[in-house]
Amino acid sequence: MPPPFLLPVLLLVLPPSPQAAAAAEDICIVGSGISGASTAFFLTNYTAPYPAPQLRVFERRDRVGGRLATVTVAGEVFEAGGSIIHPRNLHVRRFADLLGLTAKTGGDDDEDWLGIWDGARFVFKTLRPPPPGSSWLRRKLHGLANSLLLLRRYGLSLLRMDSFVQEMLQKFMLYYNGFESRPVFDNVEEMLKWSGLYGLTRRTLEEELIDAGLNTQTISELVTVITRINYGQSTSISGLAGAVSLAGSESGLWSIKGGNWQLAAGLLKTANATLHLQEGIESISDAGDYYVLKSNKGHEYNCTVTVVATPLDEVNITFIPPISIPPRKMQHTHTTFVRGLLDPKFFGLSSVSDIPELIGTMELPDIPFSCISVRKKHGEHDMTYKIFSRVKLEDALLDQMFSTREETIRIDWPAYPHYQAPEDFAPIILDGRHLYYVNTFESAASAMETGAVAAENVARLIISRLPLGLRAGLSSAAVPEPHIESSAGEEEGPRRVDL
């Protein structure tokens, strides 16, 4: 179902006049992850049927996708960065459809065999799943028994946690409204206030959940396991990042067969963007009517509009004149793939078959990892595991954890912001002119979909503020004034969800 994109915004962009074409008129995007690729896609999509502006995308690495990347172990492809997609992530779902990419369900998510580790023992375990190929009835009964087990331990807190997540999702869905009922936002605060989500960035997840009536055991066990898996952090992250991470524990999760990075590759292709691989941008200078981007290849590019589609926190781009944004730390997640076999003794167990397939952990000192999951059983004693940790897992430790280890792959990601409450947001328009920052929205929550939502807004914002050069040739009557509406206030609550 096509989204109800309204024409007035499309009318803003017409082919530039031949005279204007001599001047700089590129839109340059720094970063080829899902945010940069989505920005390119929406710019093209929203300006169709007119020829899109010339888009240049710069990527310092030799491949597109950024934090969407795969590794291959024993001939199998695994997601090393962003992996799961929520069924209600509508942009990503639409991208997959449009690009003809195949969805792969995350296996039987409900069947994941979870154990919660406190560093000394498993304080809680769901039931071992029935063997593959078991009857439908047996699997249903297993699911039911697990629900009862969870209910016995966490009680009503489970339902309260679910309502908390559903309420967030319902508000988030407003970002899919048509143009007629959804303003263009020029700052993140207003964007969040409009949907009613801003309040969740002012307080920690823990504060929000206590108010929502969750008991402390549920917060310190189940909720903590989930925030440590999805953001590598404790429940002191902001309520919004927390709610997004809890949504990532629901059922119906999926990913792209062959790798989520194909989303970025496909979007860049659809947008006809000129891709400059292995070309890092070192500086962005304001030259009056355009920006000069200097790359590490010694090249210069004149760009009318520049979009920064990478977190600025750990990259080294010099802005002339300098820009100022609130300091933000990135949470590093070390992703370690191990092909081998966990040692049951490390967990105080006597048999490998007693080790849960997903080991989540509580927020306690001395637990050296956030989670361990079996990604593939190649054989009875031959598995591929994925481990997340906040620090590098040294060989000495891995040797204690594993009885055999054939292959080890380590990736150190600047993974997502280190969330806090209240959260500060960098501006979307970095210089008050035509320098845009998509990844400021990551301070709300980091995910493929939030990248796409932020990019869609930035694309609309750019189109609504295009410099005159790009709008040349339009009769003044046809050019509506750039119009940026802002907050209608949180008090109004959620509006009609228009899918």
Ligand X SMILES: *[C@@H]1O[C@H](CO)[C@@H](O)[C@H](O)[C@H]1NC(C)=O
Tokens, residue 47: 């300006």
**Residue 285 binds ligand X (CB under 6 A):** no
The amino acid that residue 244 corresponds to is V
For ligand X, the binding residue among 285, 302, 331, 487 (CB under 6 A) is 302
Q: What's the CA gap between 328 and 441, in Å, rounded?
A: 12
**Residue 19 binds ligand X (CB under 6 A):** no
Of 27-35, 181-189, 296-304, 417-425, the window that binds ligand X (rule: CB under 6 A) is 296-304
384 close to 299: Cβ distance less than 8 angstroms: no
For ligand FAD, the binding residue among 416, 419, 425, 436 (CB under 6 A) is 416
Binding-site string for ligand X from residue 215 to residue 254, where x marks contact by CB under 6 A and - marks none: ----------------------------------------
Tokens, residue 307: 């979009």
**Residue 391 binds ligand X (CB under 6 A):** no
For ligand FAD, the binding residue among 44, 238, 304, 446 (CB under 6 A) is 446
Binders of ligand FAD among 202-241, rule CB under 6 A? none
The entry of ligand X, ligand FAD, none near residue 234 (CB within 5 to 8 angstroms by kind) is none
Q: What's the CA gap between 200 and 205, in Å, rounded?
A: 8
Of 53-61, 160-168, 469-477, 482-490, the window that binds ligand FAD (rule: CB under 6 A) is 53-61
SS3 call for 14: coil
Q: Which is nearer to ligand FAD, 82 or 427 (CB)?
A: 82
Q: How many residues does the chain have?
A: 499
Q: What's the CA gap between 143 and 132, in Å, rounded?
A: 14
Q: Which is nearer to ligand FAD, 140 or 329 (CB)?
A: 329
224 close to 363: Cβ distance less than 8 angstroms: yes
**Residue 83 binds ligand FAD (CB under 6 A):** yes
For ligand X, the binding residue among 61, 94, 405, 495 (CB under 6 A) is 94
Binders of ligand FAD among 290-309, rule CB under 6 A? 309
SS3 call for 21: helix
Of 43-51, 117-125, 140-148, 339-347, the window that binds ligand X (rule: CB under 6 A) is 43-51
**Residue 280 binds ligand FAD (CB under 6 A):** yes
Q: What's the CA gap between 454 and 263, in Å, rounded?
A: 16
**Residue 362 binds ligand X (CB under 6 A):** no
DSSP single-letter state for residue 65: -
Minimum distance between the CB of residue 185 and ligand X, rounded to whole angstroms? Answer: 20
Side-chain half-sphere CA neighbours of 394 within 13 A? 2
Minimum distance between the CB of residue 291 and ligand X, rounded to whole angstroms? Answer: 10
SS3 call for 449: helix
What's the Rg (C-alpha) of the chain? 24
Q: Could you tell me which residues are beta bridge partners of residue 254? A: 85, 105
Q: What's the CA gap between 23 and 156, in Å, rounded?
A: 63
**Residue 439 binds ligand FAD (CB under 6 A):** yes
**Residue 45 binds ligand X (CB under 6 A):** yes
- Parallel/antiparallel/unpaired status of strands 371-379 and 382-389: antiparallel
Spatial CA neighbour of 69 closest among 449, 448, 398, 454: 448
Catalog residues that contact ligand X under the rule CB under 6 A.
2-3, 24, 44-45, 48, 52, 94, 98, 270, 272, 300-302, 316
> Footprint of ligand FAD on this chain (CB under 6 A)?
30-36, 58-61, 66-68, 81-84, 280-281, 309-310, 315, 317, 333, 335, 413, 415-416, 439, 446-449, 451
